[in-house]
Amino acid sequence: MTDLAVELDLPSAEPADPNSIRIENPVDGSLVGRVAMATPEEVAGAVAEAKSAFPGWAATSADQRAAALRAAADALADRAADLARVNAAETGRPVAEAREGVLAGVSTLRQYAELGPLHRGRSLLGGNSATDLMVPEPRGVVAVLTPWNDPVAVACGLVGAALVTGNTVVAKPSERCPHTGLLFGEVLRPHFPEGVVRHLAGDGTVGAWLAGNADLDVIAHVGSTTTGRELAAVAAGTGAKVLLENGGNDPLLVDGDVDPVWAAEQAATGAFANSGQICVAVERIFVHRDVAAAFLDALIAAAERTGMLPLVDARHRDAVHEQVTDAVAAGARLQVGGVIPDGPGSLYPATVLTDCEPGMRVWREETFGPVAPVCVVADFAEGLARARDDDYGLAATVLTRSMEHAQRAWRELPVGTVKVNSVFGGAPGGAAHPRRASGHGYGYGPELLDEFTATKVVHIEPAPAP
């Protein structure tokens, strides 16, 4: 395969350069390309440029900032096919799905272009001779650290909301999709003044250099809980605000009154879509014993139909497989999948485990792969209680025909999002707070604009006559 960095006129490292990122196609193991990692000087320079550009960008009118974001969205739409192709090559995501992710990002940029000028403060009822205001102001320089599983859509949310509210941005995409991240940055950059938005390539070391810069005002991160906690610790020393959407270990509750075949289709979608590499993927399944047999038969059949799926790289596949083998060693039953295939790439089969217990890593940790661990429970109450017993708090799904059970579940589950009878359902514009190990702060929706602004109270009254 031709080196994409060369083909698309992106920065590329020489093959022998040890300070570069080598990307191989997860499907066939072929070389996608190599990208040079940013140096400490380049990181510091990007932040300095963003700090210098901030006063001018913050003073730019809201409608002008929105117009720039709208132009960037149009440019992104024009390059959707290129971005999808690069994303597919780097992560193994099918081109059609990758293009959907890019177009979702385009919609997000356009949404924030409309919402930005409408973001407003409040006037307060003070004395008749005074004016009292609460005014939202941009915070300053924002570091945006984004993942590889849906790189364009996720980045558009954070970058778009930060820019339209008057902040400047230095972004580091995941080292697993650097070509995608750099191309995204190249598409956006011409539509903003110099220094307003920059993209840097690099691994966790580069991310640490960026996050530790004392001139940052916000660190926005979507990714693993471990990295999120490290960023929070760094920000405690620098004073930067931290916005985190981190790991999830989402439960799926299957009640005894639902169609088990339909429920299995929901479970398969939640566990296997995008190879299970979705932050709100189904990670734990609690099925009522009354429908367990039929549900498992249908879920196993769905996994067999799904077959092999590409994981982003061999390192990640090994981590997923380690959780599966650990579970089997601890007493779980492997119903289908769970075997690394011969040949190139980083493929892994859709996998179903039964007899899973709380002490297993596959049950306590985020797997982020096409693995469906199942536990049969005596009744809905037991399933709900066991679903609550977890360190994460991102999302949950409940499949039930009982309004009583639905009401009880959404009130009692300690997560940011609860979906009833649709594993990936939800209206546009919703925004939730993740809980506990899953992070904190709004990561999307109109409320994300509030995360990138700080409120100033202003009191104005006339001076007395001399």
Please give the full DSSP string across 29-74, using - where no structure is assigned: --EEEEEEPPPHHHHHHHHHHHHHHHHHHHHS-HHHHHHHHHHHHH
Q: Give every CB contact of residue 367 below 8 A, 6+ residues apart in sequence.
A: 276, 283, 320, 323, 373
Written as one letter, the residue type at 283 is E
Q: Given this model, what pLDDT does residue 18 score? A: 75
- At residue 7, the pLDDT reads 59
For the residues 376-384, what does the mean pLDDT come to? 98
Buried b (16+ CB within 10 A) or exposed e, 337-367: bbebeeeebbbbbbbbbbbbeeebebbbbbb
pLDDT band of residue 379 (cuts 50, 70, 90) is very high
Q: How far apart are CA 140 and CA 286, in angstroms?
A: 45
Flag whether pLDDT at 239 surpasses 60: yes
> Residue 5 pLDDT > 70, yes or no?
no
* Mean per-residue pLDDT, 207-225: 96
Has residue 54 got a pLDDT over 70? Answer: yes
- What is the radius of gyration, based on Cα positions, of the chain? 24
Query: Lowest-pLDDT range, 16-20, 249-253, 278-282?
Result: 16-20
Could you read off the pLDDT of 120-176 as tens digits, one per residue?
999 999 999 999 999 999 999 999 999 999 999 999 999 999 999 999 999 999 999
Mean pLDDT within 308-326: 97
Average pLDDT rounded to a whole number, residues 312-317: 96
Quote the tokens at residue 430: 């919703």
What was the pLDDT predicted at 443?
87
The answer to whether residue 6 scores a pLDDT higher than 50 is no
Question: What is d(CA 462, CA 444) in angstroms, rounded to the nearest whole number?
Answer: 41
What does the pLDDT average to over 433-440? Answer: 94
pTM (predicted TM-score): 0.94
